[in-house]
Structure 1
Amino acid sequence: MTDDTRSPEMLRAMFSENLRRLAQQHRSVSALCRKLGVNRTQFNRYLSGESVPRPDVLDRICRFFDVDARILLQPLDEIEKSENHPATKTLTEFLGSGAEAIGKSAFSLGFYAVFESLSDTHRMTLLHARPLAQCTLIRGYVSRTAMPDATPQDREIQGLAACSGDTVYMLTSQRGGHNSRVYLISPDQNGTAVHWRGSVVNSADTSNPEPVVLKYLGHDSAAIFAAARLSTNNLAQQF
């Protein structure tokens, strides 16, 4: 045993201090707990140093805050981070898309079923949103129904989203910039199963915006697999 061995109490204190600093990026602890999918009482125990999260919850926290598991062992200031581009802070302030804006938005961490129109040929996509300090990272896949002969690699989508008041704008693309899309969506006011409505423009036809709806599926990965087992038409009928 080394001389610098730290007790469980010291490690819990280290994690609680790091987590408090990370949580300060968000105005509402309750909203943060909802986005993380962590019970508020349990989260308070992490903050007070009474306990540390189990591995799957720690992984969720680390991915949400874009840190690694060293937050259990080292102060945040000692953990190496990738160098930020000098434009990051300027763009965040200019666009108003930083942590405070995201914290006020209902565009939460988790999975979304996306329909680009409600016609017979609508295109379904399953997306995952991961909020960071400057924006929200988007990753997902076009459904096999929409691209039956494509490989999962070809169906993969990545992009980013940012907030402007109650409006969220997203830029997504398939690999190599193929089928780039710009979404402009707002919270749905119709009281239906749809959580967001708006329009989307395809880079291949910028003169013809299509209606788009998003249904929030939660942060549990099981939800996306359950949704994937439904046909596009069955999901559309829920709207």
Structure 2
Amino acid sequence: MTQDFPRNLRLLCSYYKSIAEVCRRLNINRPQFNRYLSGRSMPSANTMRRFCDFFGVEEHEILMPHSQFQRLIQVRPSATTPTDSGLPETEHLEHIGKLGNAGLDKYLGYYFEYHISMACPGKLLRMLVCLERRDDKIYYQRTERLKESPHEKTYHGVYLGMANFLTDRIFMVDYESLTGHEITQTILFPTFKNRVSRLTGLKLGVSGSGERMPCAARVMYEYLGQSVDVRRALALCGLYDLDSPEIEDSIKKAVTNDIAPGEWHFRARH
């Protein structure tokens, strides 16, 4: 660390016209500054703070290994460089939303969603999903009904989100509305048949357990129709054993989270 600091300090100074300019702007004695540059001494905590404020770095950064610090500085903007992040502006994101609505109307209605539970591994979770159009956007609600044991109170989780149809894929992003502690993304294969029956894909989220582990799971949507008896549909939602006769074998197979030989990524299966 002692050898990395003077090298990092010299690198920072190289972005200025001269060492003299740096000393003048820092109002520091040149011979003393030379001792820092040579590694013969380390600055006090107060002087270190002045250096970091002047150069726009944190103290732990200026003490990094030199190669790591060099990469960091290369991508940092200088004081005179505009800090353009390169991210699209808000109107561009809204434009994507408008582009992605065409073709989703035939998917509006109610679905059962199936996937292996992230909070209760080894259990299959059935949820109720409703997609609907409001003005020029497609919104949806996913409702989770959990009762882990007969003696526990039933828990209902509500996820609210927006769906887009982009280049032959359905993209869905939602958030858990009661606590705001989770965002979930789902990508589904559309069907090119006139009749919508099932959609498959992948979902990425966070387990509801204490560890909040990011997880990916295969998912299936089973179309129920434009309208349903919501109370009866929710009564069928919840956790199921993987060998439960109430869940069709084709659904269990579709949401099994395995990786086939030759697969290098966790992939959806159409």
The two structures have a TM-score, normalised by structure 1, of: 0.49
Higher helix share: 1
The two structures have a TM-score, normalised by structure 2, of: 0.44
